[in-house]
Amino acid sequence: MRKPDSPRYKIPISVLVVIHTPALEVLLIERNGWPGFWQSVTGSLAREDETLAEAAVREVREETGIDAARYPLKDWNIRNRFEIFARRRGRYAPGVTHNTENVFGLTVPAPLPVVLAPEEHLQYQWLPWREAAAKCISWSNREAIQLLPRMTGCAG
């Protein structure tokens, strides 16, 4: 158990949620403090006992205002391990350099309005999947979006 005076570090286990429509339109959000960094919803576990699905639902709600519990959320059973960007490493415990990301897909019926958390994101857009993949700087996010036709059984 964490002592009250000890620092609170991020858990190096995260979720990536590709929010998309049946027509394979993908929601991307631009990171605040990093203009031009477009991504899907991402976020770390809030607690050691939070499940990956719980984290996915929470992060979607926090970052977009969308209630993911209302729509089909699918664990794609893809795990990516990557080095944490140096500019983000101070949020993790000393010596933590890598994160394990767990990929989910969330199908919504059509492009939905989004309520962004202004401290996290600047703007959003819905794009056809190929355009969305090309806009992502993160290799794991780009690859997840490129898998969308296969993961959903829809032709792109």
Per-residue DSSP letter, 11: P
- Segments making up each domain of the chain, as ranges: 13-152
Give the pLDDT score at 3. 43
Pairing of strands 25-31, 121-128: antiparallel
pLDDT in tens, 17-38: 999 999 999 999 999 988 899 9
pLDDT in tens, 92-126: 999 999 999 999 999 999 999 999 988 888 999 99
How buried is residue 52: exposed, middle or buried, by Cβ count under 10 Å (0-12/13-18/19+)? middle
Who contacts 58 (Cβ-Cβ below 8 Å, separation ≥6)?
A: 43, 46, 50
How remote is the C-alpha of 42 from its chain's centroid?
2
Q: CATH fold of 13-152, please?
A: Nucleoside Triphosphate Pyrophosphohydrolase (3.90.79)
For 144, the token pair is 């997840």
